[in-house]
Amino acid sequence: MAKEEKKAPKLRFNGYTNDWEQVKLEKIATFSKGKGYSKLDLKRKGYPIFLYGQMYTDYRYKIVETSTYAILKEDAVVSNGNEIVIPSSGETSVDIARASWIAQKGIILGSDLNIIRPTSSVYPLFLALSLSNNQVKYNLAKVAQGNSIVHLYNNNLKKVNIYFPNIVEQNKIGNILNSISNCINLHERKCEELALIKKALLQKLFPKKDEIKPEVRYKNFSDAWEQRKLGEV
């Protein structure tokens, strides 16, 4: 029997030297589909739900909560906390090649989601990262089908090759990358908040049309602003 192909990255945590194993995804996971829900089913209250569109509007590697809700249907697919989801349709093959770990139980998984449930030998966060980056992402993009709307099916996913180390190293890799991703998301939210503050200040620190004073002033400043032609100043 031919020796199984192995591979290892150049950068490793201390104490890890063994090669990574290569297997087809179908050897380390089972596959299914989300069903029965779309944006039309969303409610203000109910069971938390995750729809494929959220992977484009608010993409994260690890999903622990959602701000969207729906009524629980009898045939709903509900997470048990170790699912990897990949959109089954999108605008481009590159966009569709992304995966998230549904790390919380009790989240409804809506239509147009491919669902992957890895075995205990694979850390779900590591698998989500692997499917969303580097060569594996490129391989996913290659098997996506369609033109104006691109589709990715479980039969395509099953044949994708995955490289992975032992479960301990998978945890270390997944956790450090997720920590960095969370830090980036936090700073992005802060940047968005500051942009809103700046926009509000621009409206209040300058006089409105036909007014001679701004709405907000620093202390000890109360005089009206002067008006001049630009050429005069």
Position 25 in a domain: yes
The answer to whether position 97 is within a domain reads: yes
CB-based contact 108:76 (threshold 8 Å): yes
- Please state the pTM of the whole predicted model: 0.80
- Indicate whether 17 belongs to any domain: yes
- Is 182 contained in some domain? no
How many structural domains does the chain have?
A: 1
**How many other CB atoms are there within 10 angstroms of residue 172's CB atom?**
15
Average pLDDT estimate for 163-174: 92
* Number of residues assigned to the chain: 233
CB contact at 8 A, 21 and 162 = no
Sole residue written with tokens 């989300």: 34
Residue 110: which domain range? 6-166
Quickly count: other Cβ atoms within 10 Å of residue 76's Cβ: 18
- pLDDT tens track for 58-112: 889 999 999 999 999 999 999 999 999 999 988 888 888 899 999 999 999 999 9
Mean pLDDT of all residues in 125-133: 93
For residue 233, being part of any structural domain is answered with no
pLDDT digits (tens, 9 = 90+) for 5-35: 557 788 888 888 888 889 999 999 999 999 8
CATH of the domain at 113: 3.90.220.20
Q: What are phi and psi of 4, to 5 degrees?
A: -65, 135
* 130 part of a folded domain: yes
In this structure, is residue 204 part of a structural domain? no
Does 115 map to a domain? yes
